[in-house]
Amino acid sequence: MFYEKLKLLIIGYSEADANQLNTAFNRSGKQLIYQHANSLRDVRSALDTSSWDAVIAEYSIPGFDALQVLNLFKPYHQTTPFILYTSITDEEVILQVLRNGASDCVPKGHAARLILAINRSLELMDLKRRKRQADGHIYRMTYYDELTGLPKHNLFCEQAASLLSNTTVTSGMIAAVYFIDINRLSSINSKYGYSISDQLIQQFVSRLSIYPDNNCILARTEGGNFVFLKTGLASIDQVQAFANQLLALATASFIIHDLEFYISLTIGICLYPRDGREIEVLLANAESALSLTRKTWPNTYQFYTREIGEASLQKIKIEQSLQKIVNDKELVLHYQPVFDLVTRKAIGAEALIRWRHPELGFLLPNKFIPLAIESGAIVKIGRWVLLEACRQVKCWQDAGFDPAFIAVNLSAMELDQLLLINHVTEALHATGLDPSKLELEINESILMQDVDRSIRILKELKKMGIKIVMDNFGTDYSSLNYLRRLPIDTIKIGRLLVQDIACKSGNSAIITAIIALARNLDIQIRAEGVQSKAQLDFLQQASCHHIQGFLLTPPVSAEHFLSSIKQRRTGTFS
């Protein structure tokens, strides 16, 4: 780097010496602006009134020396090069000056070497400056959120740990961690784009920022999640009052580009020291409380409890076990018979998965299937279920019971054309089961996500001879217009509609309409969740084809399935 102009403070030289230096610098192509000082008072005045590219000094000056200048110089310009340009040759003296902070030492009379030393020192200082800037940029990227300027998780943990360690929790004083989530942010992203949601977050942070003080720390963890640590609280009432203040921030609308947005918040709260003393533990517990709060009404808060913590630990344990779940020792299928309402005989069964967890015991699907879908383990599980269900039907056939079908549930992730076709083909080939015996149950909401794609996949399955059941029909009433297009063999009326037959006349009318529509389209009707005689009688009068439910028989293991339907064969539906 070439410095054409240099502003130097020259200390301890005569006017003639200064002029000689100026001439030498000019010959080297540099324009020199300088001031020379010959007393400590002049040096102090020069340092107070101006900044300098470099300072050059003689060692011995009447009344003081370079070491005194250095001591005076240090508080002012720690990044400005200080170069000893001296006639002194004593090596011990020179080393002493260098140890005290001088950048370099050049023998007096060697102006070219002095220029080189100044250039070298300035380049080094420039590199240090750029390194400090880069370090600062890396620090900001590491510890501060780029969108909001708030601390990130790692810095929050450092600051929170420090604040809690300095907080005296006596006489009932407590601290609270508030884990805050902006609801519906993902839907705003998908509808209006990230630019709008980013501006909404910035406006929300502006509202949040009125609260932090010496007893508060605010951070953004990710997306629409924020965490607040507030210390110095005297009671639970104060904890709740602050939570209500936070919730109130979402009551006023957010205006962005003439668009008006309303949001709601959910908050999980964890108390220090009751719910933990380490900040990471407090954060985890507050987030666990938040997860439970999401299942309740929006714009509310939930305190962490031991029960929430136990549920969270169970969830973690299940997630960790999911990748090792697929083996004969842990997974098991239970089967719920499906009955024909005319003949009152069991005509088929639905395969329902269970998990014999080595630590948590017998788990029903609602405990682990949602987590399996999140983790992707559902694909392996679904493959195992297909194979095992088909194998079991062959076993029943050998035992003299030839069901019309075995129904297997599919998740959205499994509804991949190539993968699903391969898994179905594999199961049928391995067991030798007739494809017409296999029914695939697919939730109505999944089929409606992309109707055209669903039609393509279902047609491929139909070509193989597979039958298709639309599961949980009637929940959203969204698929009525698509029934003519979708290659559906059976629609399964959702459990919620069936359960409310007796108490909600509207549900009865909906079921009657569904059955009439399906019969006109030559589609079979199946109702699940039948638990009472009143439900059974209504479905029979409405000409429903098939039913299943606890009134008839609950899901049972493969070993007890045949004995269960034999008992039902000699009994009644009452």
The secondary structure of 450-505 as a DSSP string is SHHHHHHHHHHHHHTT-EEEEEEETSS---GGGTTTS--SEEEE-HHHHHTTTT-H
Helix (H) or strand (E) holding 430: helix 417-431
Q: Residue 208's closest CA among 149, 159, 140, 256?
A: 149
Pairing between β-strand 467-473 and β-strand 490-493 as defined by DSSP bridges:
parallel
Residue 325 pLDDT: 66
- If pLDDT is split at 50, 70 and 90, which confidence band does 545 have? very high
Residue 253 pLDDT: 86
465 pLDDT exceeds 90? Answer: yes
Summarize pLDDT for 391-411 with one digit per residue, the tens.
Answer: 999 999 988 889 999 999 988
Q: Cα separation of 358 and 356, whole Å?
A: 6
Residues of the chain with CATH 3.30.70.270: 153-304
Q: Cα separation of 106 and 38, whole Å?
A: 19
Residue 351 pLDDT: 94
Residue 278 pLDDT: 86
The residue type of 32 is: L
Peptide bond into 273 cis (omega under 30): yes
- Using left for φ > 0, alpha for ψ between -120 and 50, and beta otherwise, residue 340 falls in beta
Determine the topology of domain 5-141 in CATH.
Answer: Rossmann fold (3.40.50)
Helix (H) or strand (E) holding 282: helix 279-293
What's the token pair of residue 362? 């017998």
CA 445 from centre of chain = 24
515 pLDDT exceeds 80? Answer: yes
Q: Cα separation of 393 and 502, whole Å?
A: 36
Summarize pLDDT for 303-362 with one digit per residue, the tens.
Answer: 887 665 555 666 666 666 676 665 557 888 999 999 999 988 899 999 999 988 777 778
Sign of CA dihedral 151, 154, 158, 161: positive
- Is residue 18 packed enough to be buried (19+ CB in 10 Å), middle (13-18) or exposed (0-12)? middle
Residue 141 pLDDT: 83
Mean pLDDT for the stretch of residues 49-62: 84
Residue 570 pLDDT: 44
Task: List C-alpha distances in Å: 540 to 16, 127, 278, 555.
Answer: 119, 86, 61, 22
1 pLDDT exceeds 50? Answer: no
- If pLDDT is split at 50, 70 and 90, which confidence band does 475 have? low
Q: Cα separation of 244 and 84, whole Å?
A: 66
What CATH number belongs to 316-568?
A: 3.20.20.450
268 pLDDT exceeds 70? Answer: yes
81 pLDDT exceeds 70? Answer: yes
- Provide the residue count of the chain: 574
Q: Which of 99-103, 519-523, 541-545 shows the lowest mean pLDDT across its residues? A: 99-103
Three-class SS of 205-273: HHHHCCCCCCCEEEEEEECCEEEEEEEEECCHHHHHHHHHHHHHCCCCCEEECCEEECCCEEEEEEEEC
Q: Cα separation of 386 and 368, whole Å?
A: 18
Summarize pLDDT for 413-451 with one digit per residue, the tens.
Answer: 777 667 888 899 999 999 999 999 999 998 887 777 778
Residue 340 pLDDT: 92
CB 482 within 8 A of CB 448: yes
Q: Cα separation of 344 and 517, whole Å?
A: 23
101 pLDDT exceeds 90? Answer: no
Better pLDDT: 31 or 177: 177
Better pLDDT: 96 or 168: 96
Name the average pLDDT for the chain: 83
Residues of the chain with CATH 3.40.50.2300: 5-141
548 pLDDT exceeds 90? Answer: yes
CB 208 within 8 A of CB 294: no
- If pLDDT is split at 50, 70 and 90, which confidence band does 293 have? low
Q: Residue 65's closest CA among 91, 30, 45, 94?
A: 94
571 pLDDT exceeds 50? Answer: no
Residue 573 pLDDT: 57
Q: Cα separation of 491 and 483, whole Å?
A: 9
Summarize pLDDT for 166-223 with one digit per residue, the tens.
Answer: 755 555 678 889 999 988 788 788 788 888 889 999 999 999 888 877 788 899 988 8
Percent of residues in the chain assigned helix, strand, coil, to nearest 5? 45, 25, 30
- Tell me if the domain spanning 153-304 has CATH number 3.30.70.640: no
Residue 179 pLDDT: 92
Q: Residue 73's closest CA among 135, 12, 131, 28?
A: 12
What is the 8-class DSSP label of residue 329? T
Q: Cα separation of 48 and 69, whole Å?
A: 14
42 pLDDT exceeds 60? Answer: yes
CB 276 within 8 A of CB 292: no
Highest average pLDDT, of 48-62, 142-156, 326-340, comes from: 142-156
Residue 504 pLDDT: 59
The residue type of 433 is: L
Q: Residue 457's closest CA among 492, 501, 506, 421?
A: 421
Mean pLDDT for the stretch of residues 8-36: 83
Residues of the chain with CATH 3.20.20.450: 316-568
